[in-house]
Structure 1
Amino acid sequence: MAYELYYWDGIQGRGEFVRLALEEAGADYIDVAREPGRGTGAMLAIMKSESEPHIPFAPPFLKDGDLIIPHVANILFYLGPKLGLTPENERLRYVANGLQLTVTDFVAEVHDTHHPIDTSLYYEDQKQEAKARSAAFIRERIPKFLGYFERVLRQNPEGTNHLVGGALTYVDLSLFQVIEGLSYAFPKAIAKRRAEYPGLLALHGAVAKRPNIARYLASPRRLAFNEEGIFRHYPELDGAE
Structure 2
Amino acid sequence: MTYQLYYWTGIQGRGEFVRLALEDAKAPYVDVAREEGDAVMTGWLDGDHDGALPYAPPFLKAGRLVIAQVANILHYLAPRHSLEPEGEAKQIYAHQLQLTITDLVAEAHDVHHPVGAGLYYEDQKAEAKRRADEFRESRIPKFLQYFEKVLERNGGKYALREFSYVDLSLFQVMSGLEYAFPKCMAKQKLPLLRDLAKRVAARPNLAAYLSSDRRLPHSEDGIFRHYAELDA
Normalised to the residue count of structure 1, the TM-score between the two structures is: 0.94
Q: Which amino acid aligns with 2:203?
A: R
Determine the C-alpha separation between the residues in 2 that align with 1:185 and 1:192: 14
Determine the C-alpha separation between the residues in 2 that align with 1:51 and 1:39: 18
Q: How does 1:1-241 map to 2 (within 5 A)?
A: 1-35=1-35, 38-156=36-154, 159-164=155-160, 166-193=161-188, 196-239=189-232
Sort the Cα spacing of 1:198 and 1:120 in 2 relative to 1 into closer, same or farther, 3 A.
same
Aligned length: 232
Return structure 1 stretches of 4+ with deviation > 3 angstroms: none
Identity of aligned residues (%): 58
Q: CA RMSD in A?
A: 0.9
Unaligned runs of 5+ in 2: none
Q: Is the 8 A contact 2:51 2:66 kept in 1?
A: no
Tell me the alpha carbon deviations over residues 151-205 of structure 1, each in whole angstroms, 9 at most, x when there is no partner. Answer: 011001xx221001x3210000000000000000000100111xx2110001001
Determine the C-alpha separation between the residues in 1 that align with 2:227 and 2:198: 25
The offset of 1:51, in angstroms, is 5.0
Q: Which amino acid aligns with 2:30?
A: I
Determine the C-alpha separation between the residues in 1 that align with 2:15 and 2:47: 21
SS, match of residue 214 in structure 2: coil
Q: Is the 8 A contact 2:12 2:216 kept in 1?
A: yes
Q: Which amino acid aligns with 2:229?
A: E
Determine the C-alpha separation between the residues in 2 that align with 1:82 and 1:184: 32
